Amino acid sequence: MEDCLAKKMEITVSEAEKRTGRNAMNIQETYTAYLIETRAVESQSEGQCVPMDSLWRRYSEFELLRNYLSVTYPHIVVPPLPEKRADFVWHKLSADNMDPDFVERRRIGLENFLLRVASHPVLCQDKIFYAFLTQEGGWKEMVNETGFQLKADSRLKALNATFRVKNPDKRFTELKHYSDELQSVISHLLRVRARVADRLYGVYKVHGNYGRVFSEWSAIEKEMGDGLQSAGHHMDVYAASIDDILEEEEHYADQLKEYLFYAEALRAVCRKHELMQYDLEMAAQDLTSKKQQCEELATGTVRTFSLKGMTSKLFGQETPEQREAKIKVLEEQIQEGEEQLKAKNLEGRDFVKSAWADIERFKEQKNHDLKEALISYAVMQISMCKKGIQVWTNAKECFSKM
User: So where are the chain's domains?
Assistant: 1-161, 165-298+324-401
Tell me phi and psi for residue 153, to 5 degrees.
Answer: -85, 140
Confidence check: pLDDT of 155 > 90:
no
* Each residue's pLDDT tens digit, 178-215: 999 999 999 999 999 989 989 999 999 999 999 999 99
Are the C-beta atoms of 296 and 303 separated by less than 8 Å? yes
71, pLDDT greater than 90: yes
Residues 132 and 57: beta-carbon distance below 8 Å:
yes
**Domain 1-161 in CATH 3.30.1520.10:** yes
Q: Can you list the positions of beta strands (E) in 41-127?
A: 53-58
Sheet holding 9-22, edge to edge: 9-22, 28-40, 53-58
Length in residues, the chain: 402
Got the DSSP string for 174-195? HHHHHHHHHHHHHHHHHHHHHH
Arithmetic mean of pLDDT, 29-36:
90
165-298+324-401 CATH: 1.20.1270.60
- Using CA atoms in the order 197, 202, 206, 207, what is the torsion angle rounded to 10 degrees? 0
d(CA 87, CA 357): 32
d(CA 376, CA 379): 5
Domains 1-161 and 165-298+324-401 share a fold: no
Rounded to whole angstroms, the Cα distance separating 358 from 351 reads 11
Q: How far apart are CA 6 and CA 13, in angstroms?
A: 14
> What is the predicted pLDDT for the residue at 386?
93
The confidence score (pLDDT) of residue 314 equals 44
pLDDT at 44: 59
pLDDT confidence tier of residue 85, bands split at 50, 70 and 90: confident
- How much is the pLDDT for 310? 47
Rank 138-142, 354-358, 373-377 by mean pLDDT and report only the highest.
354-358
Q: For 307-330, write each residue's pLDDT tens digit.
A: 455 445 444 566 778 888 888 888
Instruction: With cut-offs at 50, 70 and 90, classify the pLDDT of residue 95.
Output: low
Q: Is the pLDDT of residue 118 over 70?
A: yes
Q: What distance in Å separates the CA atoms of residue 92 and residue 198, rounded to the nearest whole number?
A: 8
Q: What is the pTM of this model?
A: 0.85
Average of per-residue pLDDT across 259-266:
95
Tell me the Cα Rg of the chain.
32
Backbone phi, psi, residue 59, to 5°: -60, -40
Q: What is the pLDDT of residues 33-53, one digit of tens each?
A: 999 999 988 765 555 666 778
The CA-based angle 287-172-361, given to 5 degrees, is 125
